[in-house]
């Protein structure tokens, strides 16, 4: 169980390690050059591969069979574990959709540009969060608006 959660958190790091250490995009280059786009395409593909593998592990665990714990405490614990597995699976499904969306943006020439302002998102932000669709400033403004509307 803990392994599935750890893998879910660590999949981007695994994808980055799978890339060749020969190249990392930098601010010194032309923004969203062919070399940078290829780097992010490979990173996203590796990330998706890691997420799919983690999802398959989760699915395999869920298919092992129904909960048949004779002790009520053990059964409750197992049901809690299953709930966590299902939430993990749902997060993985949503992440795969976001990765696919980022791949489409690369193909359409929109990757790396903010959906709100049209400004460059920035290499460092994309390295940290390859599925980002907004600049840090636009994301913060979006989150403030969400918080205000939630509070109303």
Q: What is the mean pLDDT of each run of 10 residues along the chain (152 residues)?
A: 49 70 84 94 92 79 67 77 82 93 97 96 94 95 87 68
pLDDT, residue 67, reads: 63
Do the beta carbons of residue 101 and residue 73 sit within 8 Å? no
Domains of the chain: 2-151 (1.20.120.910)
Cα–Cα nearest to 47, from 10, 3, 81, 85:
10
R_g of the chain, CA atoms, integer Å: 19
Q: Cβ atoms within 10 A of the Cβ of 23, count?
A: 12
Q: In angstroms, rounded to a whole number, what is the distance separating the alpha carbons of residues 78 and 61?
A: 12
């Amino acid at each position: 169980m803990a392994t599935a959660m750890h893998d879910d958190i660590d999949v981007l790091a695994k994808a980055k390690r799978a890339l060749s250490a020969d190249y990392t995009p930098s601010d010194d280059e032309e923004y969203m050059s062919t070399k940078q786009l290829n780097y992010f395409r490979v990173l996203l593909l590796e990330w998706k591969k890691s997420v799919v593998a983690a999802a398959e592990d989760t699915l395999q665990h869920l298919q092992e069979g129904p909960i048949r714990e004779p002790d009520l405490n053990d059964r409750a614990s197992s049901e809690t574990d299953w709930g966590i597995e299902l939430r993990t699976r749902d997060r993985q499904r949503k992440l795969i959709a976001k990765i696919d969306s980022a791949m489409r943006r690369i193909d359409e020439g929109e990757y790396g540009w903010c959906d709100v302002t049209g400004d460059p998102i920035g290499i460092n932000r994309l390295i940290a969060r390859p599925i980002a669709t907004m600049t840090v400033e636009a994301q913060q403004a979006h989150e403030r608006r969400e918080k205000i509307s939630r509070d109303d």
